[in-house]
Amino acid sequence: MDSEETPKPHAVFLPYPSQGHVTPMMRLAKLVHSRGFHITFVNTEFNHRRLIRSKGLEYVKGLPDFRFETIPDGLPPSDRDATQDIPALCDSTRKNCLAPFKELVLKLNSSESGVPLVTCIISDGFMSFTIKAGEELGIPEVQFWTASACGFLGYLYFTELIKRGIIPFKDESFKYDGTLETPISWIPGMKNIRLMDLPSFIRTTDITEIMFDYTGSQARNCLNSSAIIFNTFDELEHDVLEEITSKFPHIYNIGPLSLLERHLPESQFLSISSSLWKEDSKCLQWLDKREPNSVVYVNYGSMTTITEQQFNEFAWGLANSKHTFLWIVRPDVVMGDSIILPEEFFEETKDRGLLTTWCPQDKVLAHPSIGVYLTHCGWNSMLESVCAGVPIICWPFFAEQQTNCRYACTTWEIGVEVNEDVKRDEIEALVKEMMEGEKGKAARQKASEWKKKAVEATDIEGSSYKNFERLIKEALLIGE
């Protein structure tokens, strides 16, 4: 049949408006685009402006069949080059985004739009108001959970924690009296976990708090969608995925997306990242001059903020380890202060330390000189480590990063954990252990085994590749 007569299927993508969600959503959009779909990628106005600052106007013009659109996030206007206040953003998107989103889809479906009719919506699991939009507009809607499946399962059990009287906690003493070390054995599919390994929003004395209420309810809402996509692979989170499937059979595990992308035809547009910060690629030339497995890579992701005290402990831990390091320091990483490191630090590390503000992380992790990654355990970072076969030092910040950390250290055996209350001696010791010691060797061995499995899952006959094919046929081309 001539393509002129068959209008293209048209998928509208809506990420939650922060970097860690935009990245995998953009990867998925490119993959779906490669299967002949027209794509509309919807950012908030705030993030659209950041994208223009980071990538230039040409980028957001997109292609004839890959277009960018915007909706307001409902927050007061701001031009800061930083992630917005997360609780305020969650509350605002949930209350204010449904109407403008529906309006946008109706506009796309009007005869003046000049684009094919919208045939499906793929929305972030944290933007579940789109389920309602899909129902009201009669358009199939799929949720893409951009975080880990183990994290998702943790969120689903928030209500059970309340039922069992575990939360809300009576007062703040739970933080230091050992309560968080209580083993949790009643979540099917999750082994070896303690209260402290569940998503961090359970650490509350008030269950009406935005983040506890929002994350738990968004995960539960996903179960009302027609399908859920996970950026993971069967072997990595096998038990957890089996448990989720028993509650909701329509899931598609298609990760790691960064490896699935290798099947895409090379094109200029598809090679561009969706980074909201300007990336410094000079660090790659710096890495080229280093020995294999000799560099400690440090990056706390796009949201983590730390105190000046913690920042200094990390700095001196790295300096005292005597190892070479590449340290990504976002302009907004230290709470409320600009970052000033003493002259002695630069003296001590002058030939072996590089600090920069943002970088193309997947390229950095894939660089042969990287020996270990000190990470906040966000899901994109965890998967990129697995894809690169790099072991990790975990310092989780919030949300399901605690859960990812536990899995990395116990189930996948690729990491070690830093105490929440970070101390320079501990950083120094862990860096040395992971770069030179037996634990480091074992973790590197495990990491390279997982890398092999990740590559196999995304090979043409692999489970993730096949699941992606099924997703297109079963969930996105309904009625085609």
C-alpha–C-alpha distance, residues 55 and 382, integer Å: 25
Q: What is the share, in percent, of the chain residues with pLDDT greater than 90? A: 84
Helices and strands (H, E) in the chain, number of each type: 20, 15
pLDDT tens for each residue of 49-68: 998 888 888 888 888 999 99
In the set 21, 33, 38, 367, the catalytic residue is 21
End-to-end CA distance of the chain: 13
Q: Which band of pLDDT confidence, cut at 50, 70 and 90, is reported for residue 194?
A: very high
Q: What is the share, in percent, of the chain residues with pLDDT greater than 70? A: 97
Predicted confidence at residue 286, as pLDDT, reads: 97
Predicted confidence at residue 1, as pLDDT, reads: 40
Question: Which has more pLDDT, 276 or 117?
Answer: 117
Question: Which has more pLDDT, 207 or 81?
Answer: 207
Cα distances from 27 to residues 24, 257, 264, 357, 417, in angstroms, run 5, 6, 11, 23, 29
Predicted confidence at residue 54, as pLDDT, reads: 85
Residues linked to residue 71 through DSSP beta bridges, in sequence order: 44
Would you put residue 189 in left (φ > 0), alpha (ψ -120 to 50) or beta? left
Predicted confidence at residue 2, as pLDDT, reads: 45
Predicted confidence at residue 270, as pLDDT, reads: 60
Question: Which has more pLDDT, 274 or 208?
Answer: 208
- The pLDDT of residue 331 is above 90: no
- The pLDDT of residue 338 is above 80: no
Report residue 200 as tokens: 């961090």
Predicted confidence at residue 426, as pLDDT, reads: 98
Nearest CA to 41 among 54, 59, 20? 59
Predicted confidence at residue 271, as pLDDT, reads: 61
C-alpha–C-alpha distance, residues 285 and 141, integer Å: 43
Across 278-303, average pLDDT: 93
- The pLDDT of residue 3 is above 60: no
- The pLDDT of residue 218 is above 50: yes
Predicted confidence at residue 77, as pLDDT, reads: 86
- The pLDDT of residue 170 is above 90: yes
Across 172-192, average pLDDT: 96
C-alpha–C-alpha distance, residues 107 and 114, integer Å: 10
Predicted confidence at residue 333, as pLDDT, reads: 87
Across 211-229, average pLDDT: 97
- In degrees, rounded to 5, the angle at the alpha carbon of residue 299 between the alpha carbons of residues 334 and 321 is 95
The contacts of residue 197 (CB under 8 Å, 6+ apart) are: 154, 184, 402, 403, 405, 406
Lowest mean pLDDT among 17-21, 290-294, 380-384, 401-405: 17-21
Predicted confidence at residue 219, as pLDDT, reads: 98
- The pLDDT of residue 436 is above 60: yes
Q: Is 21 a catalytic residue?
A: yes
Residue 33 is which amino acid? H
Across 242-262, average pLDDT: 96
The contacts of residue 452 (CB under 8 Å, 6+ apart) are: none
Q: Is 124 a catalytic residue?
A: yes
Predicted confidence at residue 479, as pLDDT, reads: 59
In the set 10, 38, 73, 124, the catalytic residue is 124
The H-or-E segment that residue 142 falls in is strand 141-145
Predicted confidence at residue 474, as pLDDT, reads: 95
C-alpha–C-alpha distance, residues 139 and 176, integer Å: 49
Nearest CA to 71 among 50, 41, 91? 41
Q: Which band of pLDDT confidence, cut at 50, 70 and 90, is reported for residue 4?
A: low
**Mean model confidence pLDDT for the chain:** 94
C-alpha–C-alpha distance, residues 174 and 203, integer Å: 8
- The phi, psi pair for 335, rounded to 5°, reads -55, 120
Report residue 207 as tokens: 């269950």
Predicted confidence at residue 246, as pLDDT, reads: 96
Q: Which band of pLDDT confidence, cut at 50, 70 and 90, is reported for residue 337?
A: low
Q: Which band of pLDDT confidence, cut at 50, 70 and 90, is reported for residue 452?
A: very high
Q: Which band of pLDDT confidence, cut at 50, 70 and 90, is reported for residue 275?
A: confident
pLDDT tens for each residue of 135-144: 999 999 999 9
